[in-house]
Amino acid sequence: MASNKTNAGNFFEDFKLGQVLNHATPRTITEGDVSLYTGLYGGRFALQSADSFAIDCGLQAAPVDDLLVFHIVFGKTVPDVSLNAVANLGYADVRFIAPVYPGDTVQTSSEVIGLKQNSNGKTGVVYVRSTGVNQMGEVVLDYVRWVMVRKNNIEAPAPETVIPDLPSVVDPANFVLPPDLQITEFNTTLAGSAHMFEDYEVGEKIDHVDGMTIEEAEHMLATRLYQNTAKVHFNQYMMKDDRMGRRLIYGGHIISLARGLSFNGLGNSLFVAAINAGSHTAPTFAGDTVFAWSEVLEKADIPGREDIGALRIRTLATKDAPCAEFPDKTEDGSRDPAVVLDLDYWLILPKATVAV
**Would you say residue 3 lies in a domain?**
no
- Give the contacts of 55 (CB within 8 A, at least 6 positions apart): 61
Which of 188, 229, 213, 225 lies closest to 71 in space, CA to CA? 225
Q: pLDDT value at position 263?
A: 98
Check whether 230 has a pLDDT greater than 60: yes
- Minimum mean pLDDT range among 14-18, 192-196, 242-246, 336-340: 242-246
**Would you say residue 272 lies in a domain?**
yes
**Would you say residue 169 lies in a domain?**
no
What is the mean predicted confidence (pLDDT) over 255-280? 96
**Would you say residue 215 lies in a domain?**
yes
Mean pLDDT over each residue of the chain, to the nearest integer: 94
Domain count, the chain: 1
**Would you say residue 75 lies in a domain?**
yes
What is the mean predicted confidence (pLDDT) over 236-256? 91
**Would you say residue 356 lies in a domain?**
no
What is the mean predicted confidence (pLDDT) over 289-299? 98
Work out the pLDDT band at 297, boundaries 50, 70, 90: very high
What is the mean predicted confidence (pLDDT) over 64-86? 94
**CA atoms of 199 and 197, how far apart (whole Å):** 6
What is the mean predicted confidence (pLDDT) over 268-288? 95
**CA atoms of 105 and 113, how far apart (whole Å):** 26
Work out the pLDDT band at 354, boundaries 50, 70, 90: low
Classify residue 307 by burial, with Cβ atoms within 10 Å: 0-12, 13-18, 19+. middle
Check whether 97 has a pLDDT greater than 70: yes
Do 266 and 294 form a contact (C-beta atoms < 8 A)?
Answer: yes
Q: pLDDT value at position 114?
A: 98
User: Residue 336: which domain range?
Assistant: 12-152+177-350
Work out the pLDDT band at 350, boundaries 50, 70, 90: very high
Q: What is the CA radius of gyration of the chain?
A: 20
Check whether 3 has a pLDDT greater than 80: no
Q: pLDDT value at position 4?
A: 79
Q: pLDDT value at position 333?
A: 85
Check whether 355 has a pLDDT greater than 60: no
Q: pLDDT value at position 330?
A: 83
What is the mean predicted confidence (pLDDT) over 28-40? 97
**Would you say residue 292 lies in a domain?**
yes
**Would you say residue 51 lies in a domain?**
yes
Check whether 349 has a pLDDT greater than 70: yes
Q: pLDDT value at position 83?
A: 87
Check whether 356 has a pLDDT greater than 60: no
Check whether 1 has a pLDDT greater than 70: no
Helices (H), 20-116: 31-41, 46-49, 51-56, 66-81
Question: Which residue did the predictor score with more confidence, 331 or 286?
Answer: 286
**CA atoms of 347 and 292, how far apart (whole Å):** 16
Q: What is the CATH number of the domain that holds 340?
A: 3.10.129.10
Q: pLDDT value at position 90?
A: 87
pLDDT tens sequence across 165-212: 999 999 999 999 999 999 998 999 999 999 999 999 999 999 999 999
Q: pLDDT value at position 332?
A: 86
Check whether 32 has a pLDDT greater than 90: yes
What is the mean predicted confidence (pLDDT) over 256-275? 97
What is the mean predicted confidence (pLDDT) over 339-348? 97
- Give the contacts of 264 (CB within 8 A, at least 6 positions apart): 208, 209, 210
What is the mean predicted confidence (pLDDT) over 271-298? 96
